[in-house]
Amino acid sequence: MDIKQTDVAVIGGGTAGLEARRAAMKAGARVLLINDGPWGTTCVRSGCMPSKLLLAAARAARDARAAAEFGVAAQGLKIDGRAVMARVQKQRDRFLEGILKQVSDIPAGDKLEARARFTGPTTLDVGGIRVEAKAVVIATGSRSAIPPKLKPVADRVLTNETVFDLPDLPASLAVIGAGPLGLELALAFARLGVRVTVFNQGRTIGGLKDSEVERVAHVLLAAEIELKLGVDVSAEDAKNGARLTWSVDGKKQDGAFDKVLAAAGRPPQLKDLDLAAAGLSLDEHGSPNIDPETLRCGDGAIFIAGDASHLLPVLHEASRQGRLAGTNAARFPKLKSEPAPASLSITFTDPDIARVGAAFDADDPDLMIGRCDFQAGRGIIEGDRRGVIRLYAGREDGVIRGAEMVGPSVEHLAHLVSSMVQQKVTVETALAWPFYHPTYEEDLKDCLTDLARQRGLDAD
Ligand SMILES: Cc1cc2nc3c(=O)[nH]c(=O)nc-3n(C[C@H](O)[C@H](O)[C@H](O)COP(=O)(O)OP(=O)(O)OC[C@H]3O[C@@H](n4cnc5c(N)ncnc54)[C@H](O)[C@@H]3O)c2cc1C
């Protein structure tokens, strides 16, 4: 058996793995990068970038339809599905080129292309090669999960790994899952003229915890896509497509769909790593115990980063965690502790959905809520006043803790709130910041004013 020795072995060549490699090398370590499957990262191949490219096409269609309100006629709207998908793929491949160039610049001796599994605390089997490391970073990402109930229609099932490679738009699409991934793609396809129905076992959408924001998001999205919540779907193959069956209030319903998109969550990809062989104790989901501030697993020299950690499965966290895990693996046993920044996640559903800061807790007696609809001038100018912002602050100290929101320009408002949370800014301080006129940021200012009034401050 071939043996390869290294200081740090990084398993996974996605965003977290590439960042971990860079950071470990910067800290002076020899690094071996191990990746199974195509290089190029999930973000670029089948995640953030192609989904946003599809949403950009959908926005063009939406804007064309909404143009009449402004006295601009866009008659005879025609959507060329092949052209839509060709642009998604062309631009996605453009992003991909940059990452593939990075990977090809890694010397051949510093990377291995095969599946890795642990054989001991810091030893691995990688396609028959024994890798002996001083420390290991797990950056294996997450995987799409296809519900077993979709097995009978497997030929028609799409995941994020296959949907962006369709040569044309499907005629109809059932989306299983109403989380960020399901909602973004459902909305994109619906705006491009595809008949879309979203099915969700749970009764809430978009991962929202604040029932008022969730209710508004539900109403806004239901205006464009059919939402079937609290339903369990079964599937069978039929002549005219995948026939799905579900029950609403005890009444059986069914429908046929050209394609079915599995979007009901992406669990961490840890299963085939044989973490038990590394001596790690695992919870009921097969995940190790992780120190969120060092990303160390258990008490050995194993670190974890990105979707594999499941701490916050978004891109900027994959990068940050990759850097921290790579640094700590290289410096082991000298560990750097880094608290996670303010939590921030955005769903680009236009109106976008965002969650910032600690999860909303309706039972927290110290929580004050500042609320506003999008009623300031900018919404009237743009013809888009759909949505709500709920901004949370501590009743005692007035420190801004987070927000949930749905509405226009939310991606920018969420960043602003995340800076407030990160810097532990009080309502009074934030109100003294400049708010340009006329912007959607003025709606956020209305929330701050609402909070200031509740704190008995003169906010006018
Ligand atoms: C459709 C979609 C849209 C998204 N949109 C956004 C967005 O807009 N904004 C945002 O912030 N985030 C978004 N995300 C999430 C974001 O893409 C992920 O958080 C991020 O890409 C995770 O990076 P990673 O490095 O952890 O994993 P990955 O990039 O998946 O890398 C993991 C790598 O490890 C390899 N691997 C796995 N197991 C092994 C093994 N045993 N041995 C060797 N190699 C292995 C895999 O093949 C893969 O190459 C989206 C995700 C999806 C699916």
User: Ligand 1 mean position to 307 CA, how many Å?
Assistant: 6
Q: Which atom of ligand 1 is nearest to the CA of 117?
A: 41
pLDDT, mean of residues 2-9: 98
User: Ligand 1 mean position to 47 CA, how many Å?
Assistant: 7
**Residues composing the chain:** 460
* Residue pair 45/348 in contact by the 8 Å Cβ criterion: no
Paired with 5 in beta bridges are: 132
Q: Judge whether residue 250 has pLDDT over 90.
A: no
pLDDT, mean of residues 126-153: 97
| Per-residue model confidence as pLDDT tens digits over 355-381 | 999 999 999 999 999 999 998 899 999
User: Ligand 1 mean position to 267 CA, how many Å?
Assistant: 11
Q: Is 404 in the pocket of ligand 1 (CB under 6 A)?
A: no
User: Ligand 1 mean position to 141 CA, how many Å?
Assistant: 5
Helix (H) or strand (E) holding 322: helix 315-331
Q: How confident is the model at residue 460 (pLDDT cuts 50, 70, 90)?
A: low
Going by the DSSP 8-state scheme, the letter that residue 359 receives in this structure is P
Cβ-proximal residues to 159 (8 Å cutoff; 6+ apart), any chain: 144, 146, 261, 262, 263
Q: Judge whether residue 335 has pLDDT over 80.
A: yes
Q: Which of 48, 165, 303, 346 to mutate to test the pocket of ligand 1 (most atoms within 8 A of CB)?
A: 48
Which one has a higher pLDDT value, 460 or 28?
28
| Per-residue model confidence as pLDDT tens digits over 48-74 | 999 999 999 999 999 999 999 999 988
Q: How confident is the model at residue 240 (pLDDT cuts 50, 70, 90)?
A: confident
| Per-residue model confidence as pLDDT tens digits over 78-87 | 999 999 999 9
Q: Judge whether residue 210 has pLDDT over 80.
A: yes
* Residue pair 124/34 in contact by the 8 Å Cβ criterion: yes
Q: Distance (Å, rounded) from C-alpha 232 to C-alpha 409?
A: 34
Q: Distance (Å, rounded) from C-alpha 178 to C-alpha 261?
A: 11
Q: What's the predicted TM-score (pTM) here?
A: 0.97
Q: Which of 270, 285, 4, 298 is nearest to 141 (CA)?
A: 270
User: Ligand 1 mean position to 458 CA, how many Å?
Assistant: 48
Share of the chain above pLDDT 90, in %: 96
Q: Is 349 in the pocket of ligand 1 (CB under 6 A)?
A: no
Helix (H) or strand (E) holding 169: none
Q: Which atom of ligand 1 is nearest to the CA of 160?
A: 1
Q: Is 12 in the pocket of ligand 1 (CB under 6 A)?
A: yes
Q: Which of 34, 41, 42 to mutate to test the pocket of ligand 1 (most atoms within 8 A of CB)?
A: 42
pLDDT, mean of residues 391-408: 97
* Residue pair 138/270 in contact by the 8 Å Cβ criterion: yes
Helix 48-66, helix 81-104: angle, nearest 10: 150
pLDDT, mean of residues 138-150: 95
Helix (H) or strand (E) holding 216: helix 211-222
User: Ligand 1 mean position to 347 CA, how many Å?
Assistant: 17
Longest dimension (CA), the chain: 75
